[in-house]
């Protein structure tokens, strides 16, 4: 059977219905069975079998950690010492991590079992997983459709029961959007809540690691383990970790806002609109207040996001030069050809597009007009968002304007693809936490997600709310 929560696994482990080695064997079988979905780039088959025996021993001795029984997959941009990590790029193919990310260390300390490495868009740039150098990930609900992205493998692995939980990264929606396309929970914490140490950087002032799960309870558990200050990441907040699993709602009813335009924009599929309206109606039925508001900066979200993230990416990806590590072209004769040819051959089309855009907006002649202007608009978005949260507790919107689209449908139209992020980038621009919650199915069987954004640093309260609504 496919487990949907750690609690259910723990019950069956406790009563002897299953053992940890058997559970791991089941996941390995499921991975084999659904290989064609292309969710895993690598499965740590032998290693997890040994690990399962070790953790089982600890369970029997009564000294196992909080996550004993949890089998987790890692997006291929999160480093795990001694294991390959490629950011789904040819430029890092066969590269082995020399250290573990802080999240991996914390998961292992609590006896989680890491089962493998998950496909994603190259350097986390994309919204469909079609930008991976290792092929797209297919949606388990309909394999002619995309998984969403960039954490597509992370979503499909959980959707198809190949692991219980996965970790993705979210720079503009990469955890929430694939979670919504696959009918799962996906959480982007407040910027700085989780250390980025060992996360391959895309846009450092936006990037954050986030879990994809079947239920909120698992999300709370994982957050409690991986969140918190870290001496290796100065942007990881020094605040004490919230008690996610113990936080309950302070009030019975809350004030929600929804940005009118998010339901009126032409690009929103009618079924997504209807599902969101129904969700709003159900909130009202539960006694919550929901008000429509205007947010005149909405049209600027996508341009601001793409100018700033491209700028940061062009700087972060400068290190992949065919010099210290990663791919080096065979066609080299001097320094310039080494760098030029290695990057030309090693990076995919979308990554190159963003590097060029980033270099352009940072160049002397364009800096003021683009980069600096986008920074100013980012600040305006932040200020306006903070002001909104003085009047409202939560902001609700669809997670994505559409359900999972057909593979190939948008891949030759980058602008259409960028619009998939229209509702998710807000939380990354402003830094706020946001969660995608499953919100039913469209007539064609594809999942729909609804997004709820919360106040800065009130991540545990947002998850407690999500739990109360599920």
125 binds ligand GLN (CB under 6 A): yes
- Active-site annotation holds for 150: yes
> Residues in contact with ligand GLN, total (CB under 6 A)?
14
CA 426 and chain centroid, separation: 15
Q: What mask of x and - would describe binding to ligand GLN in positions 195 to 214, judged by CB under 6 A? A: -------x------------
Among the residue ranges 5-13, 164-172, 261-269, 363-371, the one whose residues contact ligand GLN (CB under 6 A):
164-172
Q: How far is the CB of 173 from ligand GLN (least distance, A)?
A: 5
Catalytic residue, chosen from 86, 88, 150, 169, is: 150
Those residues whose C-beta lies under 8 Å from the C-beta of residue 419, and which sit 6 or more positions away, are 267, 302, 401
Q: What is the 3-state secondary structure (H, E, C) of 450-468?
A: EEEECCCCCHHHHHHHHHH
Interface positions, 370-389, toward ligand GLN (CB under 6 A) = none
Helix, strand, coil % over all residues of the chain, rounded to 5: 45, 15, 40
Going by C-alpha positions, the residue among 247, 257, 260 that lies closest to residue 283 is 257
Instruction: List, as one string, the DSSP characters of 30-90.
Output: HHHHTGGG--EEEE-HHHHHHHHHHHHHHHHHT---TTTT-EEEEETTB--TTSB--TT-G
d(CA 202, CA 221): 27
The smaller minimum CB distance to ligand GLN, of residues 116 and 126, is found at 126
d(CA 380, CA 364): 24
Q: Which residue in 172, 228, 358, 431 binds ligand GLN (CB under 6 A)?
A: 172
Q: Which residue in 126, 346, 358, 433 binds ligand GLN (CB under 6 A)?
A: 126
Find the residue with minimal CB distance to ligand GLN: 174
Catalytic residue, chosen from 89, 132, 174, 400, is: 174
Answer for the pair 157, 2: CB distance below 8 angstroms, yes or no: no
- Active-site annotation holds for 174: yes
Q: How far is the CB of 34 from ligand GLN (least distance, A)?
A: 24
Q: Which residue in 173, 186, 189, 438 binds ligand GLN (CB under 6 A)?
A: 173
Interface positions, 16-35, toward ligand GLN (CB under 6 A) = none
Convert 46-69 to b/e letters by CB count within 10 Å (16 or more is b): eebeebbeebbeebeeeebbbbbb
312 binds ligand GLN (CB under 6 A): no
Among the residue ranges 13-21, 165-173, 432-440, 451-459, the one whose residues contact ligand GLN (CB under 6 A):
165-173
The smaller minimum CB distance to ligand GLN, of residues 9 and 125, is found at 125
Among the residue ranges 45-53, 124-132, 268-276, 437-445, the one whose residues contact ligand GLN (CB under 6 A):
124-132
166 binds ligand GLN (CB under 6 A): no
77 binds ligand GLN (CB under 6 A): no
Q: How far is the CB of 388 from ligand GLN (least distance, A)?
A: 22
76 binds ligand GLN (CB under 6 A): no
137 binds ligand GLN (CB under 6 A): no
421 binds ligand GLN (CB under 6 A): yes
Those residues whose C-beta lies under 8 Å from the C-beta of residue 47, and which sit 6 or more positions away, are none
Instruction: List, as one string, the DSSP characters of 253-276.
Output: --EEEEEHHHHH-TTS-HHHHHHH
d(CA 257, CA 290): 6
Helices within 227-365 (DSSP H only): 260-264, 270-285, 301-316, 335-346, 349-362
Query: Which residue numbers are catalytic?
Result: 75, 150, 174
Interface residues toward ligand GLN, by CB under 6 A: 124-127, 150, 169-174, 202, 309, 421
């Amino acid at each position: 059977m496919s487990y949907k929560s750690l609690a259910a696994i723990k019950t069956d482990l406790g009563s002897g219905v299953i053992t940890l080695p058997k559970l791991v064997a089941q996941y390995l079988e499921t991975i084999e069975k659904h290989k064609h979905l292309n969710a895993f780039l690598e499965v740590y088959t032998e290693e997890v079998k040994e690990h399962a025996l070790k953790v089982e021993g600890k369970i029997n001795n009564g000294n196992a950690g909080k996550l004993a029984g949890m089998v987790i997959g890692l997006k291929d941009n999160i480093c795990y010492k001694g294991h390959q990590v490629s950011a789904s790029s040819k430029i890092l193919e066969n590269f082995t991590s020399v250290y573990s990310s802080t999240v991996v260390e914390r998961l292992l300390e609590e006896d989680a079992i890491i089962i493998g490495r998950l496909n994603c868009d190259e350097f986390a740039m994309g919204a469909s997983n079609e930008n991976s150098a290792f092929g797209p990930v297919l949606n388990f609900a309909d394999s002619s459709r995309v998984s969403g992205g960039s954490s597509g493998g992370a979503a499909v692995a959980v959707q198809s029961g190949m692991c219980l939980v996965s970790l993705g990264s979210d720079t503009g929606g990469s955890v929430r959007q694939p979670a919504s396309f696959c009918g799962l929970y996906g959480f982007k914490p407040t910027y700085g809540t989780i250390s980025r140490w060992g996360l391959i950087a895309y846009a450092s002032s936006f990037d954050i690691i986030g879990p994809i799960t079947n239920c909120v309870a698992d999300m709370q558990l994982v957050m409690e383990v991986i969140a918190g200050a870290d001496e290796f990441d100065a942007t990881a907040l020094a605040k004490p970790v919230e008690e996610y699993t113990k936080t309950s709602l302070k009030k019975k009813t809350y004030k929600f806002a929804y940005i009118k335009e998010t339901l009126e924009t032409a690009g929103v599929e009618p079924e997504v609109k209807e599902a969101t309206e129904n969700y709003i109606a159900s909130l009202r039925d539960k006694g919550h207040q929901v008000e429509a508001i205007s947010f005149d900066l909405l049209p600027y979200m996508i341009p601001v996001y793409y100018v700033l993230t491209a700028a940061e990416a062009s700087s972060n990806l400068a290190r992949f030069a065919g010099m210290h590590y990663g791919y080096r072209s065979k066609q080299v004769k001097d320094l310039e050809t080494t760098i030029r040819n290695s990057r030309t051959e090693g990076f995919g089309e979308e990554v190159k597009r963003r590097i060029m855009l980033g270099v352009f907006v940072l160049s002397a002649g364009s800096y003021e007009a683009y980069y600096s202007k986008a920074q100013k608009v980012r600040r305006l978005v932040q200020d306006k968002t903070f002001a909104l949260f003085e009047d409202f507790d939560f902001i609700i919107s669809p997670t994505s304007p559409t359900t999972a689209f057909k593979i190939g449908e948008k891949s030759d139209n980058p602008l259409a693809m960028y619009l998939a992020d229209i509702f998710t980038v807000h939380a990354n621009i402003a830094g706020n936490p946001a969660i995608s919650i499953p919100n039913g199915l469209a007539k064609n069987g594809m999942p729909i997600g609804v997004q709820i954004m919360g106040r800065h640093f009130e991540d545990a309260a947002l998850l407690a709310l999500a739990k109360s609504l599920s």
